[in-house]
């Protein structure tokens, strides 16, 4: 059995650790409340922007297909650059992870999903000429994980300190610019979607090119099935293509900003949950160590008493 001094020192160490984990839990909880409020405020705007954009984009695609069929022009001339679907050979993954650890499986879940998607995409691309997969990262944990596995990291963003729409715009401008130039054929974002403080879900979304609305068996879009009961025709001024010139970059910017906020809130929630568990574990450990300490102290006292009684008996003889 360890000495009383060793047990006391260990109890003191665990108490110090408990104070740290409790403080980290409180800080993460306060930051989570602010991040959650920002997500709640942004989501309705992001959802409506997505619905409007997909509606306009579908209208423009339909018009472009009709014009191409009528011989008015080619698809390159009539379709918006960010709506063009090219053969997927050059793929960019935007990976949103954390800068720090001590947040449970938050970073590990993202990293495992990234590697799985990466390997699957390489198998899909096969040995196609000029085919490659590259990465842009926001968060040191994702960057380090991919670097150790020999991934091609094209760009790294530092956005989480003072996260705002301007920093999201930096990421959006980079992604849109490379897609317009034809340097990449598709862009996917991988991040933790915030559900609650104890639940985060890793999602993989395609940012570019923009996808058509998903059509159900009844022929209605899943996103607007309820609204189709009162379907309305819209007039676009000056025209749908001019509207897309402003709307598409704004949507990409908003989608990235929402993903960054989701990732940040998920990290705070995961850290708060992890630190709460660590604090409770420290409390249990202190209880067990205190019990061991009391037993050891009682055993030492009993031993001393036995020695005293034995000595007294020896003197009587």
Report, as residue numbers or ranges, the catalytic residues: 103
Distance of CA 252 to the CA centre of its chain: 17
List, edge to edge, every strand of the sheet that includes 199-208: 153-157, 132-138, 90-96, 186-196, 199-208
Q: Hey, CA dihedral for 72, 77, 83, 85, is it positive or negative?
A: positive
End-to-end, the C-alpha distance of the chain in Å comes to 34
Does the N-terminal peptide bond of residue 238 adopt cis geometry, omega within 30 degrees of 0? Answer: yes
* Consecutive H or E run containing 121: helix 106-125
The CA–CA distances, whole Å, from 256 to 10, 58, 304 equal: 46, 21, 70
């Amino acid at each position: 059995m360890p000495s009383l001094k060793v047990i006391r020192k260990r109890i003191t160490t665990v108490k110090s650790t408990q104070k740290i984990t409790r403080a980290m839990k409180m800080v993460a909880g306060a930051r989570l409340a602010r991040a959650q409020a920002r997500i709640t405020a942004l989501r309705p705007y992001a959802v409506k922007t997505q619905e409007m954009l997909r509606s306009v984009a579908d209208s423009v695609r339909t018009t472009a297909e009709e014009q191409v069929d009528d011989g008015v022009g080619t698809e390159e001339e009539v379709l918006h650059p960010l709506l063009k679907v090219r053969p997927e050979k050059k793929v960019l993954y935007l990976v949103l992870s954390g800068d720090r650890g001590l947040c449970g499986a938050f970073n590990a879940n993202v990293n495992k999903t990234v590697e799985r998607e990466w390997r699957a995409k390489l198998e899909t691309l096969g040995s196609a000429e000029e085919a490659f997969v590259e990465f842009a990262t926001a968060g040191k944990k994702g960057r380090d994980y991919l670097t150790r596995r020999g991934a091609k990291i094209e760009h790294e963003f530092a956005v989480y300190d003072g996260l705002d729409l301007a920093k999201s715009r930096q990421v959006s401008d980079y992604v849109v610019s490379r897609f317009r130039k034809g340097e990449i054929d598709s862009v996917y974002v991988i991040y933790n979607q915030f559900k609650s403080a104890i639940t985060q879900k890793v999602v993989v979304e395609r940012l570019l090119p923009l996808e058509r609305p998903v059509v159900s068996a009844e022929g209605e879009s899943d996103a607007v099935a309820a609204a189709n009961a009162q379907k309305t025709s819209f007039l676009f001024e000056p025209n749908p293509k001019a509207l897309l010139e402003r709307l598409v970059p704004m949507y990409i910017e908003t989608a990235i900003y929402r993903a960054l906020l989701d990732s940040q809130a998920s990290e705070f929630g995961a850290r708060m949950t992890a630190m709460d568990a660590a604090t409770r574990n420290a409390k249990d450990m202190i209880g067990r160590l205190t019990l061991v300490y009391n037993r050891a102290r009682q055993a030492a006292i009993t031993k001393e008493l036995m020695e005293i009684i034995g000595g007294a008996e020896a003197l009587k003889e």
